[in-house]
């Protein structure tokens, strides 16, 4: 494939994903169709199906293409401050359009689409989890956490309240709430005398 053809293919892929995002924001994911995406992008539906096997896999790629920000952890030596900074970046990403509403739809699709669920876990959830667990492991090694703390469980305890508010109650994820979550968790995770 020549550079010109590759660039044209990349442009089409970008146009298709942009069309999917725009339509999902306008009408909601449930009303999204491959035919409507193809029409909006100015391509045939077979062009879309050559790249994605389903509406769900197209939507996953389109939503994940929006997240260019790193949600990784810094290591300043203060585990609570580092976790709070990372959680604040995640909350800021989830709390603003277009990412927030689109990510809610993506998580909804993952509930009944095993292909999307597996891809979301592999491409977004697992890397975030691994990064947090690595930061927690360093903190445990440095004596900032109890030596017997289950790091995977700690990660789930950190993210669970955020997802609960974001997906279930849709209450605001405020800086005060983050502080409350961290205080509650670190009261239980701190080293014991």
What is the pLDDT averaged over residues 55-64? 88
Bigger pLDDT: 187 or 193?
A: 187
Whether residue 53 is preceded by a cis peptide bond, meaning omega within 30 degrees of 0, is no
Cβ contact 23:40 at 8 Å: yes
Could you give the domains of the chain? 3-65 (1.10.10.60), 79-189 (1.10.357.10)
Q: Is the pLDDT assigned to residue 157 strictly greater than 70?
A: yes
Say how far apart CA 38 and CA 154 lie, in whole Å: 43
Please give the pLDDT value at position 193: 66
DSSP-H helix ranges across 54-174: 55-65, 79-94, 99-110, 114-120, 126-141, 151-163
Instruction: Indicate yes or no: pTM above 0.75.
Output: yes
Q: Is the pLDDT assigned to residue 4 strictly greater than 90?
A: no
Q: What percent of the chain has pLDDT over 70?
A: 92
């Amino acid at each position: 494939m020549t550079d010109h053809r590759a660039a044209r293919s990349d442009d089409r892929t970008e146009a298709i994903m942009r069309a999917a995002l725009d339509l999902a924001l306008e009408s909601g994911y449930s009303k999204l169709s491959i035919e409507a995406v193809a029409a909006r992008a100015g391509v045939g539906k077979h062009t879309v199906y050559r790249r994605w096997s389903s509406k769900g896999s197209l939507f996953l790629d389109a939503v994940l293409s929006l997240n260019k920000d790193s949600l990784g952890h810094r290591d300043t030596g203060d585990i609570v401050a580092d976790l709070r900074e990372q959680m604040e970046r995640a909350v800021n990403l989830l709390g603003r359009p277009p990412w927030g509403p689109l990510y809610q739809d993506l998580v909804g699709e993952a509930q009944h689409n095993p292909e999307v669920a597996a891809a979301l876990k592999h491409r977004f959830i697992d890397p975030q989890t691994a990064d947090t667990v690595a930061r927690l492991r360093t903190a445990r090694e440095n004596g900032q956490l109890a030596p017997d703390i289950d790091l995977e469980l700690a990660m789930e305890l950190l993210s669970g309240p955020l997802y609960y508010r974001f997906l279930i109650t849709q209450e605001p994820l405020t800086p005060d709430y983050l502080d409350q979550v961290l205080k509650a968790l670190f009261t239980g995770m701190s080293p014991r005398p």
